[in-house]
Amino acid sequence: MGDDTGSRVGALPDHPFTLGVASGDPTADGVVLWTRLAPEPLLPDGGMPFRTFAVDWQVATDEAFTDVVRTGTVGAHPELAHSVHPEVTGLLPDRAYFYRFRVGPHLSTTGRTRTFPRPGTPVRSLRLATLSCQNLVAGRFAALRHLAGQDHDVVLHVGDYVYEARGPAEPVAGADRRHHPFRDATTLEDYRMRHAQYRLDADLQAAHAAAPFLCVPDDHDVVGRMAGPLGRNGRDDPALFRRRLAAAYRAYYEHLPLRRTALPRGPGMQLYRRFEYGDLARISLLDTRQHRSPQVDGPLFQPNGPEALDPARTMTGPAQEQWLLDGLASSTGRWNLVGQQVYLAALDLGAGEEPVFNTDKWDGYPAARARLTGFLAEARPRNPVFLAGDSHAAMVSDITHGCDPAGPVVATELLGSSVSSAKGNTATFEAALPKNPQVRYYNGRQRGYLSCTVTPEQLRGDLWFVDDVLDAGSPVRLGASWAVQDGVLGAQPA
Ligand code: FE
Ligand code: CA
């Protein structure tokens, strides 16, 4: 033993569990757990010595941990910001479990998670929520507090988990919501601190502690309008952008309950994946940012010209597209849920006769959407329902084949509103609604989330909205409910 100074080098600081706990990607026999040691989460190193610490985890059937069924020890390494992602196996299907971590004398808070039912076994119901777009500077997370009080089996987070942009010096949500560091995130340390700042939010911690999450990033988790290996519609230097992308994905992995298969390799990350929920649902998660063609040049809203119509343009990349279609074709689930980022609905935003589309959405990739909707029209997979985010609006749409709003309905799409992010162009969307009867419901004026209750008979989507996004204690109210009946294409008011 050295002297006092020497023995304290590399000692574990007090209060390492500042960022809460989380779980994700459940199977019928396990789940991945998450926490990160960060006594000073807003410092570049999280306030941790640059060495590995052994973290113990426990899984129990009860919240008091009198019936501990699995335990283990995992290394929290400085290379991954002292985050841990132990993958628990040997659990029973379709059960609730409680979990916690310990390092030295410090105990984490307790999280609740669930395993999925065994693939193919009869299941009576699934409660699934969808979240997106939680800009810290734009509001408080009353929607997440409300979600944490609901009994969901699983939560989909379809992106814009953090926002890379610096944001305002005086955020509407309050001085304590100013982004730290107060600059656009570009380096690994920037993205780590961004995630850490978001995870200090008590309501976000509560949402994670309440249910397992399935997470996929969208553009702002890296940079707005990211497309494939290019940033901001290709305006970034490609070589530099690869470094930024690698930094953003690494921080995303470090802060979310993702399996080892998602560990980033430089600027790449394996994110599209699927889950079986008994005989009731197959859940496919798409990655519509990493493998897409660049958006067409010019303004965000424009008519689709020859460049947009190029059949070589892709939203998913060819490998993921084939994986999606194969997965829909082979599914034995009664419901085929597809979680993804940007809306699939064809949405003509033109004020006049000429159709105008948002070039960042599937609308800017019409050939890719036609391949998907054509497959849905011909192969008729059972009960396809798309769940998206990104739009900062709640929206329920009939998905029609091709770009024709009057074409045959092939699927339904449900979007919950943003958790907190503001909507900039609500008036444009509202003015365009008469031209878009396939959009059955639209609300861009309120923040919130989507909660789905899925049974063999129907999928009901409840759209929850917060009264005041600037108030963490805001009431959260049910604003609308829409349902899809088993075997019937198209959504109806519930
Ligand atoms: Fe967003
Ligand atoms: Ca987005």
Amino acid identity of residue 257, one-letter, is: P
Helix runs in 383-472, H state only: 426-432
Whether residues 302 and 399 share a domain: the answer is yes
Per-residue confidence band for 339, with pLDDT thresholds at 50, 70 and 90: very high
Kindly give the distance from the C-alpha atom of residue 408 to the centroid of ligand 1, in angstroms, as a whole number.
Answer: 30
Cα 387 to middle of ligand 1, angstroms: 15
Cα 94 to Cα 32, 65, 116, 410, 446, distances in angstroms: 15, 19, 5, 31, 34
What is the pLDDT confidence band of residue 9, given thresholds at 50, 70 and 90?
A: low
> In this structure, which ligand is nearest to the CA of 424?
1
Structural domain containing residue 11: 1-114
Structurally, the chain folds into a number of domains equal to 2
160 and 304 part of one domain: yes
What's the gap in Å between 88 CA and the centre of ligand 1? 32
Cα 144 → chain centroid? 13
Domain CATH code at residue 391:
3.60.21.70
Residue 82 CA to ligand 1 centre (angstroms): 28
Tokens matching residue 227: 């497309």
Distance of CA 351 to CAs 68, 136, 303, 308, 433, Å?
61, 33, 12, 20, 10
CA atoms within 13 A on the CB side of 114: 19
Q: Edge-to-edge, what's the strand order for the sheet holding 281-285?
A: 273-277, 281-285, 335-339, 384-388, 409-415, 394-400, 439-443
Confidence of residue 4 (pLDDT cuts 50, 70, 90): very low
Bridge partners (DSSP) listed for residue 265: 268
Say how many Å lie between the CA of residue 291 and the centre of ligand 2: 15
Name the domain boundary from 63, 83, 114: 114
Q: Calculate how far, in angstroms, residue 262's C-alpha sits from the geometric centre of ligand 2.
A: 20
Of the chain, the end-to-end C-alpha distance in Å amounts to: 69
Give me the CATH number covering residue 48.
2.60.40.380
- Which ligand has the nearest atom to the CA of 421? 1
145 and 258 in a single domain? The answer is yes
Three-state DSSP class for residue 195 = helix
Asked whether the beta carbons of 347 and 294 are under 8 A apart, the reply is: no
Q: 433: how many CB neighbours lie within 10 A of its CB?
A: 12
151 and 77 in one domain?
Answer: no
CA distance 375 to 372: 5
Q: Which of 303, 136, 115 is nearest to 203 (CA)?
A: 136
pLDDT in tens, 410-463: 999 999 999 999 988 899 999 999 999 999 999 999 999 999 999 999 999 999
Cα 314 to ligand 2 centre (Å)? 18
Ligand nearest to the CA of 361: 2
C-alpha 356 – ligand 2 centre gap (Å): 19
Is the same domain home to 312 and 234?
yes
Partners of residue 478 on adjacent β-strands: 464
For residues 161 and 83, membership in a common domain is answered with no
156 shares a domain with 102:
no
User: Rounded to the nearest whole angstrom, what is the distance from the C-alpha of residue 219 to the centroid of ligand 2?
Assistant: 5
Task: Give the dihedral of Cα atoms 430, 431, 435, 438; nearest 10 deg.
Answer: 0
Same domain, 157 and 234: yes
Cα 332 to ligand 2 centroid, rounded to whole Å: 31
Of 97, 114, 131, which residue is a domain's last? 114
pLDDT value of residue 172 = 96
Percent of all residues in the chain with a pLDDT value above 90, rounded to a whole number: 93
Does 393 lie in the same domain as 294?
A: yes
What is the pLDDT at residue 43? 97
In this structure, are 179 and 326 located in the same domain?
yes
Cα 444-418-437 angle, rounded to 5 deg:
40
Ligand 2 centre to CA of 124 (Å) is 34
Instruction: State whether 107 and 123 are in the same domain.
Output: no
For residue 197, the model assigns a pLDDT of 98
Select from 382, 411, 396 the least CA-distant residue to 461: 396
Q: Please indicate, yes or no, whether residues 228 and 321 belong to a single structural domain of this protein.
A: yes
Distance, CA 224 to ligand 1 centroid (Å)?
A: 9
Distance 325 CA to ligand 1 centre (A): 27
What are the backbone angles phi and psi of residue 221, rounded to the nearest 5°? -65, -15
